[in-house]
Amino acid sequence: MKIERKYMAHYLNAHFASAGPGEASYVRLGDDLEEYSPELSANVEKKSNILGQTSVTIDSYQKQGEVTPYYANKGDKLFERLQAIIDGDMVLDDLKTDIVEVKLWDESGLEGGTFPAVREECYIEVVSYGGDTTGYQIPFNVHYTGVKESGTFDVKAKTFTAAE
């Protein structure tokens, strides 16, 4: 059975690490997005020897996702954080947060609303801001670091719990 795209959910934490202590504030990506597909960009090394054989080594991934378009909405925590990045010309750890990929197709979570998930540290890169007459847009990229942990995500409370 094919899995519909809506069952792979991506929740971005709008409470960035540099904002100090506080609760995570997860916002589901998807409004106005027709596609969100993190690209893995593998580091591939190929070597050929004198026998005509080729060896392939994949030793790392540089994963990133593109959120385009992103329309600003008053009162939205993610919009407020993106606008703060623009207004403050933020760099380095001021851009650090996390993203949770939630597997909503796993039927074990249907009763309680808690599903298997992976949380990964990431950095947000605002690409531009402004847009056309359709509304104020702030497209951005999500750069994954590879620091991740498995656990569960409660879609009602929007909370992540790490596996023990």
Name the residue ranges covered by the structural domains of the chain: 5-162
| Per-residue pLDDT at 63 | 94
| Predicted pLDDT at 110 | 60
The C-alpha atoms of residue 25 and residue 48 are separated, in whole angstroms, by: 49
- pLDDT of 136 reads 97
Which residues are CB-neighbours of 138 under 8 A, at least 6 positions away?
A: 70, 72, 79, 82, 83, 86, 126, 128, 129
Neighbours of 73 (CB within 10 A): 13
Return d(Cα 46, Cα 37) in angstroms, integer.
26
What pLDDT is attached to residue 138?
Answer: 97
**Per-residue confidence in pLDDT tens, the chain, 164 aa:** 899 999 999 999 999 877 777 789 999 999 888 899 999 998 999 999 999 999 999 988 899 999 999 999 999 999 999 999 999 999 999 999 999 999 999 876 666 789 999 999 999 999 999 999 999 999 999 999 999 999 999 999 999 999 98
Residue 61 CB coordination number (10 Å)? 14
pLDDT at 107: 72
Q: For position 109, what pLDDT does the model report?
A: 60
Cα angle 75, 78, 82; round to 5: 110
The CATH architecture assigned to 5-162 reads: Beta Barrel (2.40)
CA 3 to chain centroid:
20
In contact, 125 and 138? CB cutoff 8 Å: no
In this prediction, residue 16 carries a pLDDT of 84
